[in-house]
Amino acid sequence: MNWLKYLLEANLYLVAFYALYYLIFRRETYYQFNRVYLLGSTVLSFIIPLTQIGVLNPPAFQLQNVVITTINSPILAAPAKAITDSSWSLINYILFAYAIIASLLLINLIFKLYKLISLSYNNKTAPHSAFKLVELPGEDNAFSFFNYLFISPGLKYSSTIINHELIHITQKHSWDIIYFELLKVINWFNPVIWLMQISIKEVHEFIADNHTVSNEADPAAYTDFLVSSAYGINGNTLTNTFFNKSLLKKRIMMLHQKKSGNAARLKYLLILPLICGLICASTLAFAKTYGWIDLAPEHSSPKPALLNSHKTYRLKLTSGKNSFITDKITFKNNTGKVKAYTVNSLTEGDKTYLLKTQHVKIEVVEVDDKLIKTAPQIKSTESKQDTASYDKQTSVTSKGYKYHETGYLINGKANFRVVIIEKNGAQKAYYKNSSTTAQLEMLKDKYGYSFPKMDIFPKLPPPPPTPPAPKVHTPAPADPASKIPPPPPPAPPAESGQKSALVKFPPPNYWDNGINNLGDHLRKNVHYPTNALTSGITGNVIVQFTINNDHSIADIKIINGIGYRCDEEVERVLKSFKRTINKDSGKYLLGISFNLIDESGKKSYAIKPVDPQFSGKSNFIGDIQINAYM
């Protein structure tokens, strides 16, 4: 949960700010500076997590294109079944306990406010120019709250006490106390916030004592007055109480403390490097989605020029019933040579060649920029002798972490990739060849995982013979795209223990016509979040929604997410869908898979299947794959 991460990060900064105050500023006699620092540091602690320095972030992947394709399971005719999940996770219990304690503290705060208000209404009140004096029964009781001065009849003629409390009233110290009481409600689990409230009350008393001594008494006489009044009654914790025995010793010490010189003010410049350091830490140490304020954004490279500066052109690829719009298409021929086609390089000869050899129709079309979504890089299915892979099923380490391991042999070089699944569902990929010694030790110590040895791949058998190229026939005068030949038969199965590591063209779209509108909407509007790209995050987002009697969708709920703004992106796009779906009313499940593909071959991100606990349900309508090509 992003707000919980934000709250924990803000409380870490509260600790850092208070440590500086306690070690450096606490004994200085610049009381007003200390008051401003204590108040301002709490505000900064909640602002810094929202900021970042974009240029410090690791460089983002350079995307060649991003694609949304649909791969669906058949839609069953059985009526939709309601999904209920009554199990509570650990995070649910933590949040419940947090809410209970915060609620109790808030109720206690309201009760204390009520008692103070009742005192002002139930006792004799005498208005003065700067305050209202409220006479309290009993003896030796004096405190202030906002512009009310509560005092016992025997003390109301004591100018020293009244002048002291007037400082609290005129400088509005009660606002500081209420502010920290509210912070305690929110951050009750952090002991530093309780210490900060004690410190702000100390500063209030130091300020009031300093003004009182400078106006009417010498420090020695005022000290004697404090000692003689040491046995007064403590007031409400929301008030500034003159008779505060716990602060008496500190107040006397600060009265006789040597005044800080002008050079001591330079100490407050330490605030600047602390703030800068915390902002840098917030950028580098926390993977978050709430860094809304970018103080130094990273500048992106300019977009390449298109065919015509006044119009937007793209390549349209058609194969069977599937059509895609893209900027570039890459094919690999039988000899292993890779060739890329773009709007500016595609020729009529290329179109004819690709139609005959790859069974796809390519054309240049003018498109609306707002509707552009790009297609996958299409590669031929011929295999190379020195290319292989293996894919291990999801397993559990000795320390209880799920992981998915994949091995690769590319151009004769072996590498391994492991995806570690955190307890909260977040996933992170590591590669053996590119991991540092510290990362390998961290994987072993923290997760209980070690990469296998490099010699797992046996000597590969020779590749199957390449089928002869189809004969070239003179096309009929009709449009060559009017009848597109079917896709070639699948490649022969790999030898035992090996799986093909090549990307194949996605299968035809089996979406039921009733939800084509929803599929088109997702295809045009879902974007792979930048935070997920830069962090190498992949996984499946499972969303539940209801189709109402009027065939509109409602009650959109993420029931299994992967974080890094992927969940929010899916929810955003579904909420923007305003059309109707011609299906029976009820609850349905939909899978959205976020995948990363590196065309250079340096990295590989295995596509994760949807968990059978979701895909096996009768109301699961399919899986949409979002592939980011790097």
Residue 508, pLDDT > 80, answer no
- Residues forming a β-bridge with 319: 322
pLDDT in tens, 242-266: 777 678 888 888 888 888 998 899 9
Is the CB of residue 626 less than 8 Å from the CB of residue 67?
A: yes
- Determine what percent of the chain falls in helix, strand and coil, rounding each to the nearest 5: 40, 20, 40
Q: Which carries the bigger pLDDT value, residue 38 or residue 65? A: 38
Write down the pLDDT at residue 84.
43
- Name the residue among 323, 476, 463, 486 with its Cα closest to residue 386: 463
DSSP-based three-state secondary structure for 150 = strand
Which residues on neighbouring strands pair with residue 413, listed in sequence order? 410
Q: Which residue has the higher pLDDT, 145 or 581?
A: 145
Please, which pLDDT band fits residue 470 given cuts at 50, 70 and 90? very low
Annotate 89-128 with three-state secondary structure: CHHHHHHHHHHHHHHHHHHHHHHHHHHHHHHHHHCCEEEC
Reading the block at residue 17, the tokens are 């700010």
Distance CA 443, CA 405 (A): 13
Q: Where are the domains of the chain?
A: 2-57+269-294, 65-84+310-378+504-629, 97-264, 388-456
pLDDT in tens, 361-388: 888 887 654 444 333 333 333 333 344 4
Q: Which range (6-15, 327-336, 348-357, 430-439) has the least confidence? A: 327-336
Which of 7, 96, 98 is closest to 46 using CA atoms? 7
Are 389 and 500 in contact by the 8 Å Cβ rule? The answer is: yes
3-class DSSP assignment, residue 373:
coil
Question: CA-to-CA distance for 453 and 464, rounded, in angstroms?
Answer: 28
- Mean per-residue pLDDT for 413-440? 80
Q: Provide the β-strand partners of residue 322.
A: 319
Which residues neighbour 311 within 8 Å (Cβ) at sequence distance 6 or greater? 366
185-189, 257-261, 521-525, 534-538: least confidently modelled range: 521-525
Q: How far apart are CA 317 and CA 311, in angstroms?
A: 19
Which of 112-116, 192-196, 418-422, 487-491 is predicted least confidently? 487-491
For residues 463-488, give the mean pLDDT.
44
- At 513-531, the pLDDT tens digits run 456 677 777 777 888 887 7
Give how far Cα 618 sits from Cα of 97, 192, 514, 622, Å. 36, 52, 16, 11
How far is the C-alpha of 574 from the C-alpha of 133, rounded, in Å? 60
Q: What's the pLDDT band for 207 if we cut at 50, 70, 90?
A: very high
- What sections of 434-559 are H helices per DSSP? 437-442, 516-525, 530-535
Domain 65-84+310-378+504-629 is of which CATH architecture?
2-Layer Sandwich (3.30)
- State the average pLDDT over residues 454-462: 42
* Nearest alpha carbon to residue 156 among 119, 114, 125: 125
CA distance 583 to 155: 80
Q: Do residues 469 and 451 lie in contact, with contact meaning Cβ atoms separated by under 8 Å?
A: no
Distance of alpha carbon 606 from the chain centroid? 23
Mean pLDDT of 162-168: 90
pLDDT above 70 covers a percentage of the chain that reads 70
Average pLDDT of span 499-526: 55
Closest C-alpha among 36, 39, 44 to residue 11? 44
The 10 Å Cβ neighbour count of residue 161 is 22
- Please name the residues in contact with 550: beta carbons below 8 A apart, sequence gap of 6 or more: 580
Centroid of chain to Cα 509: 33
Averaging pLDDT over each range in 60-64, 133-137, 507-511, which range is the top one? 133-137
Q: What is the pLDDT of residues 559-609, one digit of tens each?
A: 988 888 889 988 998 888 888 887 788 888 888 888 877 655 555 566 677
Residue 409: the pLDDT is: 55
Amino acid at 227: V
pLDDT of residue 434: 78
Candidate from 162-171, 193-202, 208-217 with smallest mean pLDDT: 208-217
Residues 53-81, buried b or exposed e (16+ Cβ, 10 A)? beeebeeebeebbbbbbbbbeebeeeebe
Q: Which long-range contacts (CB under 8 A, 24 or more apart) does 227-233 make?
A: 227/252, 229/140, 229/161, 231/140, 232/140, 232/141, 232/142, 233/138, 233/140, 233/141
Most confident of 129-138, 195-204, 357-366, 535-544: 195-204
Hey, what amino acid is at 235? G
Gap between the Cα atoms of 181 and 173, Å rounded: 13
Instruction: Identify the residue with better confidence: 418 or 307.
Output: 418
Which of 607, 540, 593, 594 shows the shortest CA–CA distance to 406? 607
| Mean pLDDT (whole number) for 207-218 | 84
Alpha carbon distances (Å) from 354 to 61, 229, 272: 29, 97, 62
In this structure, how many other beta carbons lie within 10 angstroms of the beta carbon of residue 253? 11
Q: What is the chain's Cα-based Rg? A: 35
Residue with token string 């935070």:
531
